[in-house]
Amino acid sequence: MNKLLLIIQREYFSRVKKKSFILMTILGPLLMAGVLIVPVWLAMRDKTDHQVLVLDHSGLFIEKLTNTSQIKFTYGAESIASAKLKLKDGPFDLIMEIKGDALNDEKTTPVLYYKKQPGISTEQYITNQMENILFDYRLQGDSIDIRKIDKARRQVQLLTLKVTENGTDEKTNTEVNMAIGFGCAIAIYFMIFLYGSQVMRGVIEEKSNRIVEVIISSVKPFQLMLGKILGVALVGLTQFILWIILTLVLQTAITKFLFKDEIADKVKQNSQIEKVMKNDLTADITTLEKVETPNEAIALFNDLDKVNFSQIIICFAFFFLFGYLLYAALFAAIGSAVDNEADTQQFILPVTIPLILSFIIAQNIIKDPDSSMAQFFSIFPLTSPIVMMVRLPFGVPMWELLLSMFMLIIGFLFFTWLAGKIYRTGILMYGKKTTWKELGKWLFYKG
């Protein structure tokens, strides 16, 4: 037991001390954050305040354009030439000129003068405002009640509610569930490959270094294999925990500095949703609409709140860990059967098949998360780490989850035992290219 600990220690520290580990640990969350945040950030980048001088010769828009925290409209009546001077020396950075006949002549368009190009969202905001005002004005001209139109135009928002076992309603979002499920599954898939192949390379290294015989004269081959698998598992967990911590730190930092206003909006919106829920949906839903949703990312935050995160995180940790352990044993067996990495291909492919199959099955599971196929593959140990993670956000009965976990542990023990048999023979075989038939024979050699 003591020796197993020594092996785990060596495997762990020799990897954690590597520069590549430290680099990956730091870069991982940054890359992830980059992928998630950069698009949002880019969309929101146009946040500079604009002072717009409106020269409205038609008189239609005066005092009607709505100010926002970023765009302030001021109305003037001077000539465009003198106004342009103000653009040069401030305080205005945008001048909008609306010719007198803009109202009736479709060919005359309002002109926006700028010193520094405003972002698309600013332009769009101004256009929208003007369109709305024009729309209202024209309807009024035709003496049509605007409120009638508004009523007729009401948007439909589908609120999906899950009835939980204790009878309460829960807001769910299929897309969010899908995204979380797939996200976790892909993470597990990559982790299994990343750390599994580390185990495999470690075994090949020991074999090609010829140190393996020295070590197994001191410890049992199985101990060496297990020590390596567990050591790398700890490396994976360390990296995983560091990633979570770093991501949380990054997230806090980003929400603090980038999404300040949006978070406030979100809180406002949340309290309104709650109000709606409490009043059994009889409350005026229109109040919901009045809160402007700045962008879709914020809307997502709402639905994320409804996902059972503690369950998903615990299950993710479990399925990652045991999924890895199971596959790592297979990878160790592969490593022991070959002399160098180039020979591993023929053995890796069959090991990958269940993992790839899992993703094919996952496509169908999203359509029908409770089908018997979904049930079977989320319990079958070789596919459960991925399939179960895809199913989980849709809600899985507790007994199925526990059975799946139990089967995965059994699967892990079985495949480790199997791999151990191949491993102890394989690590001492040099020169010959191993075939599947030979692997089969090794299983029956006496220790």
Q: Which two tokens stand for residue 133?
A: 């005002």
The alpha carbon of 362 is separated from its chain's Cα centroid by a whole number of angstroms, namely 17
Q: Which is nearer to another protein, 232 or 386 (CB)?
A: 232
* Residue 10 makes contact with another protein by CB under 8 A: yes
Q: How many CB atoms lie within 10 A of CB 436?
A: 11
Minimum Å gap between C-beta 160 and another protein is 54
Q: How far apart are CA 219 and CA 401, in angstroms?
A: 37
Q: How many CB atoms lie within 10 A of CB 423?
A: 26
Closest CA to 15 of 229, 243, 244, 318: 229
Using CB under 8 A as the criterion, what x/- string covers residues 185-224 for binding another protein?
--------------------xx--xxx-xxxxxxxxx---
Minimum Å gap between C-beta 380 and another protein is 32
Q: Which is nearer to another protein, 47 or 441 (CB)?
A: 441
Among 90, 141, 167, 447, binds another protein (CB under 8 A): 447
Minimum Å gap between C-beta 413 and another protein is 22
Q: Which is nearer to another protein, 214 or 248 (CB)?
A: 214
Minimum Å gap between C-beta 422 and another protein is 14
Using CB under 8 A as the criterion, what x/- string covers residues 380-419 for binding another protein?
----------------------------------------
Q: Which is nearer to another protein, 134 or 215 (CB)?
A: 215
Among 45, 148, 162, 441, binds another protein (CB under 8 A): 441
Minimum Å gap between C-beta 445 and another protein is 6
Q: Which is nearer to another protein, 84 or 220 (CB)?
A: 220
Minimum Å gap between C-beta 123 and another protein is 58
Q: Which is nearer to another protein, 88 or 210 (CB)?
A: 210
Q: Which is nearer to another protein, 11 or 262 (CB)?
A: 11
Minimum Å gap between C-beta 44 and another protein is 46
Closest CA to 424 of 221, 153, 122: 221
Using CB under 8 A as the criterion, what x/- string covers residues 219-248 for binding another protein?
xxx---------------------------
Closest CA to 318 of 191, 143, 432: 191
Of 2-10, 75-83, 117-125, 167-175: span binding another protein (CB under 8 A):
2-10
Q: Which is nearer to another protein, 265 or 438 (CB)?
A: 438
Minimum Å gap between C-beta 257 and another protein is 41
Q: Which is nearer to another protein, 414 or 445 (CB)?
A: 445
Q: Which is nearer to another protein, 229 or 382 (CB)?
A: 229
Q: Which is nearer to another protein, 120 or 428 (CB)?
A: 428
Q: How far apart are CA 37 and CA 330, in angstroms?
A: 37
* Residue 288 makes contact with another protein by CB under 8 A: no
Q: With contacts defined by CB under 8 A, how many residues of the chain interact with another protein?
A: 26
Question: Rule CB under 8 A: which of 328-367 touch another protein?
Answer: none
* Residue 446 makes contact with another protein by CB under 8 A: yes
Minimum Å gap between C-beta 24 and another protein is 17
Question: Rule CB under 8 A: which of 419-438 touch another protein?
Answer: 424, 428, 430
- Under the rule (CB under 8 A), what is the footprint of another protein? 3, 6-7, 10, 14, 205-206, 209-211, 213-221, 424, 428, 430, 441, 445-447
